[in-house]
Amino acid sequence: MRIGIEAAAPFPYGFELASTALVLIDMQRDFMEPGGFGETLGNDVSLLQAIVPATRKVLQAWRAAGGLVVHTREAHAADLSDCPPAKRNRGKPALRIGDEGPMGRILVAGEPGNQIIEALAPIDGEIVIDKPGKGAFYATGLHELLQQRGITHLLFGGVTTEVCVQTSMREANDRGYDCLLLEDCTESYFPAFKAATLDMVRAQGAIVGWTAPSAALLAALLNHAA
């Protein structure tokens, strides 16, 4: 049965549970907690905490409904063979990718800082994608995994809105997925960038996709279950 989110912008969004995945982008300690990659770039990481309760509610409701969950982490191999020098050497961060920080090596797979925060930790059966780029589809097998499962619609949350979330949504849009961004489940270190990204996504008749508050998704899931 089709589930409708009437409150979505710029117009209602509909999806089938069996062909839709919830994709949570990079909710990892590197971006969310002091001492990680986000802070080395000079950002106030505390701003991102605001979305954790709403994102956790959505994750729990989506799991209860039986929907597919995908988690991503921005992560590099320990030898940094998948980290272009241009990415590592750019700017003047306090610590560079691969350097030893308070949560282990910055943005390196398997390090404590690279783990998804406890409140949103993946459980058995969920897909976890380590991605070396900003987009979830670049140099990962994500598209193939979604195709194997017949997924056509993606609901996005995560951080940061205008970097890895927007890049992943654009990649997904170009691959033919109908994408919706959950407005209160995504955050940026720059509130103006978040607002601009939400506007950009849904402009021109949903040129990249739809946006909606998470309460609208939760209500739609409840209706569906009733």
Please state the closest distance from residue 188 (CB atom) to ligand C5J, in A: 8
Count the residues of the shown chain that bind ligand C5J, applying the rule CB under 6 A: 8
Give 74 or 183: the residue with its C-beta nearer to ligand C5J: 74
Burial of 226 (0-12, 13-18, 19+ CB in 10 A): exposed
Please state the closest distance from residue 148 (CB atom) to ligand C5J, in A: 25
100-101 and 104-105 strand pairing:
antiparallel
Give 106 or 206: the residue with its C-beta nearer to ligand C5J: 106
74 is an interface residue for ligand C5J by CB under 6 A: yes
**Residue 206 near residue 75, CB atoms below 8 Å:** no
Q: Alpha-carbon Rg of the chain, whole angstroms?
A: 17
120 is an interface residue for ligand C5J by CB under 6 A: no
39 is an interface residue for ligand C5J by CB under 6 A: no
d(C-alpha 204, C-alpha 107), whole Å:
36
31 is an interface residue for ligand C5J by CB under 6 A: yes
Please state the closest distance from residue 14 (CB atom) to ligand C5J, in A: 28
26 is an interface residue for ligand C5J by CB under 6 A: yes
What does the DSSP assignment read for 143-170? HHHHHHTT--EEEEEEE-IIIIIHHHHH
Contact pattern from residue 138 through residue 167 relative to ligand C5J, giving x for each residue in contact according to CB under 6 A and a dash for the rest:
---------------------xx--xx---
Q: What is the dihedral of CA 82, 30, 98, 105, to 10 degrees?
A: -130
Give 7 or 190: the residue with its C-beta nearer to ligand C5J: 190
Q: Which residues are known catalytic residues?
A: 26, 131, 164
**Residue 144 near residue 137, CB atoms below 8 Å:** no
First to last CA, the chain: 12
- Binding residues for ligand C5J (CB under 6 A): 26, 31, 74, 134, 159-160, 163-164
